[in-house]
Structures are given as structure tokens and as C-alpha cells.
Amino acid sequence: MSNLAAMDLVELFRQELELCKVTEGEQLVILAEPSSRSEYVEAAFAAALALRAKVIQAVLPGGSPVPLPSSRTGSGAGLTSLDNSPLAMSLLQGADMVLDLTNEGFIHTEALGKILGAQTRMLFVADPPEVLARNLPTVEDKARVQAGAALLSAGHELHITSEHGTDLVADLTDAHPGFQCGIADDPGRWDHWPSTMVLSWPKTSSGQIVVAPGDILLPFKTYVRDAMTLHIEDGYISNVKGEGSDARMLEMFFEDADDEEARFLSHMGWGLMKKADWFTMALYDRESLMGMEARGLAGNFLFSTGPHPFMDRHTHNHLDIPMRGCTVAIDGRKVVDKGLLVEPLVA
């Protein structure tokens, strides 16, 4: 149970909804499943009413986290019940905004595209109250991530290096750069609170990634103990080398998935969330948080495996691996230097 009082949660959600430009008369749908945080549903409802929005709460049957058993992994299919409910889809597509309080969200689903295509904006919220409060976004955060995405859009090559041996080059041609800033204020926009990061979807990359001790494996929600090297050929993880248990576990994950799409790199980018706490994950049980502070920590390098919507790969065998201490450069220009942000970002 959170130590934030109910009135604190209401005020927190009110501030967030204001950032998302929820105004009087707007149609807001609060989407939940039976296992969603009830205190979030109640606080969001009260906050929306305070802003004089026309609010509806919709609860659908719980989603399936297949292929992984734990909730809040970012790897599941979201509410599979939504796929068979034209009525629910029409409700979400008819809203000005959807506040998604389900466990998995919709980021890797076809349903999301249909909802956003109707110009509905959507905000996903899953992490604990203290994490939300510490990382309440600002309008300046959006400007910072937009500047980073503009640099990616104008760039040709993304180069990631580290003192541990990472040396990866990704082609930024048609890499669809984007961002998350924790604010869903534009029609047809999806975002995630908390999150402040820049990302891209390279279609090819080559080199090696050395995941070092202290880096994080998501959705396993574990800190790496022994270094492992991932060899990348044309965006594909050809092998995983390492003497410790982490390398073996990662290779077993790919073997058990029995899915070639799982071994391809997905999106990659860097974090800009300055108040994020890298060690939050060590202080909560695995079911209670999504792990967004690790993904968005300022100066981290985040790469993912599996789904790639721009290459028609839709596997749910998805990993996020945030790393510290890396240098990230676009056409030779450093945006992160040995794990520290290089600012200001100006395209």
C-alpha cells in the first residue's frame, strides 16, 4: 500500500492531466482491468471531474501477459479482450483521451494503432505512486526530447561505445525517431508516465554490445552480475557470450522463445529523466512496477529486442536492456558521454 494519501494522488493525477491538456467538456475514458490499482482509478476519476472533463470508467476482462507470467513487464499483449470487443474499441476511439491503467498497456499491439488513428490521445500509467510523484514531467521535458528526436531525424549513423567494449553502429536511415515525455497532449499521441527518453527504430545495426555488471535486464527485473557480449550482425543477435549466469539465462530466453524475431534488435535510444532512481527496482517486488526509471534514467543507453512495427515484426518476446556508462553519438556528435547527458540538445 502506498504511503501517499488519497488527496495527494488526486492532486498528482490532476497535475498530470493538466499537462495532457485535459479541459472542460473533453471526453476522458479511464481504462482498467480488475487487477488495476484501484487507488489510481479513483484518483484519476476525481482529478478528471475536478477539471470538468466528461469522464467514463471502463473495466474490461484482464489481459494476458503471455509469454511471460509476471504483470507489468511491457512484453505482454495488453487487454486481449479488447480485440474481440467492437463496443470497447468504439468507446476508446471516440474519446478525446484514454488514461490506460491496465497492467501491460498497448504499446506493442495492433489495437493501439487503431485507437491513435482516431486521434485519441492515450497515457499509460503503471508504476508505483512514489515513482510517479518523483518523475512528474514538465513542459520543458517535451522540448528536450523533441530536440533529441530531431537530431536522430537529421542523422545518418548512431554509434554507441563503452569502456566495457560496446561498439555498435546503427543506420538511422528511415529509423522513425520518436520520444516519450510522460505527456500525451497532441491528438493521436501515446505516451507513458513516467518516461523521458529519445528512441529510434534502426532497420540494421552491426557490432557488439557488452552488457556490464549493474546494467538491468527487463522484464526479468534483475541487475546484471557478470558481463556478457552480444554479437550483432545486420540487426540480429548472432550469439551471446559470457562466463556468468546472465549470459546463459539470456541465451536460454532466446532458445525457449523458439522465435527468430526475438533475436533481432528493436528500438534504441537514450534517457533524459533527471530525477529517475536507478535503484528503485531493488526496493519493490517485481509485480508492483514496470521499471520505467531504469528505462528513462538520464544518460542511459536503452536497447530492445523483438518487435519492430516498421519491419512487420510483432513478437511478444521482448527485452529492454538499459545500460549505464555508454557514449552515444549521432554522426560523431556526442549526446551522451560516458553515461552523462550532453546538453543542451539543439538539432
* pLDDT > 70? residue 268: yes
Q: Say what the pLDDT of residue 316 is.
A: 81
pLDDT digits (tens, 9 = 90+) for 117-134: 999 999 999 999 999 999
Question: 104 pLDDT band (50/70/90 cuts)?
Answer: confident
Question: 114 pLDDT band (50/70/90 cuts)?
Answer: very high
Q: Say what the pLDDT of residue 222 is.
A: 94
- For residues 5 and 347, the model is more confident at 5
pLDDT digits (tens, 9 = 90+) for 289-305: 899 999 999 999 999 99
pLDDT digits (tens, 9 = 90+) for 163-188: 999 999 999 999 999 999 999 999 99
Q: Say what the pLDDT of residue 1 is.
A: 40
* pLDDT > 60? residue 68: no
Q: Say what the pLDDT of residue 344 is.
A: 81
pLDDT digits (tens, 9 = 90+) for 28-42: 999 999 989 999 999
Q: Say what the pLDDT of residue 168 is.
A: 98
Look up the pTM and report it.
Answer: 0.92
> What is the average pLDDT score of the chain?
92
* pLDDT > 70? residue 281: yes
Question: 287 pLDDT band (50/70/90 cuts)?
Answer: confident
What is the rounded average pLDDT of the residues 208-221?
A: 96
What percent of the chain shows pLDDT beyond 70?
93
Secondary structure (H, E, C), the chain: CCCCCHHHHHHHHHHHHHHCCCCCCCEEEEEECCCCCHHHHHHHHHHHHHCCCEEEEEECCCCCCCCCCCCCCCCCCCCHHHHHCHHHHHHHHCCCEEEECCCCCCCCCHHHHHHHHCCCEEEEECCCHHHHHHCCCCHHHHHHHHHHHHHHHHCCEEEEEECCCCEEEEECCCCCCEEECCCCCCCCCEEEECCCEEEECCCCEEEEEEECCCCEEECCCEECCCCEEEEEECCEEEEEECCCHHHHHHHHHHHHHCCHHHHEEEEEEEECECCCCCCHHHHCCHHHCCCHHHHHECCCEEEEECCEHHHCECCCCCEEEEECCEEEEECCEEEEECCEECCCCCC
Domains and CATH numbers, the chain: 6-126 (3.40.50.2300), 139-341 (no CATH)
Q: Say what the pLDDT of residue 64 is.
A: 60
